[in-house]
Amino acid sequence: MAPKVLVSDKLSETAVQIFRDRGIEVDFEPGLGKDKDRLMEIIGNYDGLAIRSATKATETLINAAPNLKVIGRAGIGTDNVDKVAASKKGVIVMNTPFGNMITTAEHAIAMMFAVARQIPEASASTHAGKWEKSKFMGTELTGKVLGVIGAGNIGGIVCDRAVGLKMKVVAFDPFLSQDKADKMGVEKVDLDELLHRADFITLHVPLIDSTRNILSRENLEKTRKGVRIINCARGGLVDEVALADLLKSGHVAGAAFDVFAEEPATDNALFNLPNVVCTPHLGAATTEAQENVALQVAEQMADYLLTGAVTNALNMPSVTAEEAKVMGPWIKLAEHLGAFIGQLTDEPIKAVNILYDGVVSEMNLKALDCAAIAGILKPANPDVNMVSAPVIAADRGIKASCTTQAKSGTFDGYIKLTVVTDKRERSIAGTVFSDGKPRFIQIKGINIDAEIGNHMLYTTNDDVPGIIGALGATMGAHGVNIANFTLGRNEVGGDAIALLYVDNPIPEDVLNALRETELFHSVSPLEFDV
């Protein structure tokens, strides 16, 4: 059955057609996002939801959508999506951070020009029939110091344009390397130095705990007299009341804001102040940008629903289509390793340690981590998936870690999973053979070579005669057909294990019959989604 997507906000017909061309059934209902009741009624029918800013993907809406797998936001901001609720339900949240980068950067540059030359006020004055040429004395950008807070995707474009304008650019960004700064032609500085030196300050960071109110009253007071502040990033980055006070005092010469702490902004401390330019969140509002993000979100959602490729997800590691092809068997292996331990562990898990050896150590480890943790949790939480698993694990206080190493043995690569509880450590390792099939290669430190099937039986025992006979005779007597039989031991007369791959689920009376032989320490039926 083809995946089904609902588009509840305005998207271009070209973007909608992308879904259809990829074989996805799509219902295009722009404006539905404002009809909360009807959206609630029908959301359960869809695998994907494509939105802009009008639709509010709340916890209530997400919980009413049992089939929902992905929410795609055509744009950068996802404040209208409850990402915590989505993660807990295993719903991927995607945005399109690159489709409107140039447009947003250009708007910041335009706003900088506007406030430097007081263009909006001069225009209004001239339209009113005045000719106040001497009133609107501006300042050149050439030779001025531009302080860029956040030199990532959009900030980097602003830096490039500012360098082209012959401005001296200083940038504060903890993630900006010195080598990258040199290539960009900007000077990397700390925040205090930027505040003290900049003639213009522009912000290009997301609104997170570390950036919230980054231009606080205290930091605004550190700026040089006559500074001009531009914010086309996110409301909440600047203390707007403090900025209004400093504008009134003359310490700050001007400001240009496209975003506000409260939106829609119908009343704000910055409104109606001299040389303050305000626009209604127009950073991404160009024809080109709106088309770009619409096309991008359609492609991303279609790729995920059809191939499992994850791009620009906010709550899951990205996996390209190429990676998905190569990693598919390894992701399945990680899930199987986790499922093995998850089905045998009935006490609280304290820690999960994952070792990646050889070729697999160079893959997308975050995605593999998510798959392994999902496998561990799935026996007790059937609805868990790679998206929700890390959230659930964190809620339970499970600490996850991974290590990598170069090829160390017979196999080109393998994954070893170890789970720690208060009572024990339990470990299992596996690899992927050239045929693309995952296999178990070690359990409890005992080497084996076991094919993985839907229905399996795992037993532990002392290495004594009669085990094979007991297993074979008991299974045969109850009509259970064995497809594959693997044995292993750590030493003669030591600990031994058996792993059987059978055709059908093992009845409880068979398990009891094996236990009654008193030959086994444990008899555990296992199920795997192969």
Strand residues in 219-275 grouped as ranges (E): 227-231, 252-257
Structure tokens at 358: 């050889």
Terminal alpha carbon distance of the chain: 20
Catalytic residue among 234, 439, 455, 489: 234
Structure tokens at 258: 């496209």
pLDDT at 250 (0 to 100): 96
pLDDT at 505 (0 to 100): 93
Q: Three-class SS of residue 458?
A: strand
Residue 369's nearest CA partner among 331, 328, 320 is: 331
Give the DSSP per-residue string, 301-320: HHHHHHH--B-SBSSS--B-
Long-range contacts of 26-29 (CB under 8 A, 24+ apart): none
Run means of pLDDT, 10 residues per run, the chain, 530 residues: 94 93 95 91 96 93 96 88 91 88 94 97 94 92 97 93 97 91 95 98 91 97 98 96 98 97 94 96 87 92 91 84 84 95 92 95 92 91 83 88 91 95 92 91 94 94 92 92 92 92 93 94 93
Phi, psi (deg, nearest 5) at residue 256: -135, 115
Cβ 196 vs Cβ 219: under 8 Å:
no
The single-letter DSSP state of residue 144 is P
pTM for this entry: 0.66
Q: Mark 480-508 as b/e (b = at least 16 C-beta within 10 Å).
A: beeeebbbbbeeeeebbbbbbbbeeebee
Catalytic residue among 29, 187, 263, 527: 263
Is 22 tagged catalytic?
no
pLDDT at 375 (0 to 100): 94
Cα–Cα–Cα angle for 381, 382, 383, rounded to 5 degrees = 95
pLDDT at 152 (0 to 100): 87
pLDDT at 5 (0 to 100): 97
Residue 365's nearest CA partner among 411, 331, 333 is: 331
Give the DSSP per-residue string, 15-78: HHHHHHHTT-EEEE-TTGGG-HHHHHHHGGG-SEEEE-SSS-B-HHHHHT-TT--EEEESSS--
The single-letter DSSP state of residue 339 is H
Please name every residue paired with 416 in a beta bridge, in sequence order, or none if there are none: 355, 429
Cβ 400 vs Cβ 352: under 8 Å:
yes
Catalytic residue among 52, 107, 281, 336: 281
Is 527 tagged catalytic?
no
Strand residues in 213-336 grouped as ranges (E): 227-231, 252-257, 276-278
Domains of the chain: 4-97+288-307 (3.40.50.720), 101-278 (3.40.50.720), 317-443 (3.30.1330.90), 453-530 (3.30.70.260)
Is 335 tagged catalytic?
no
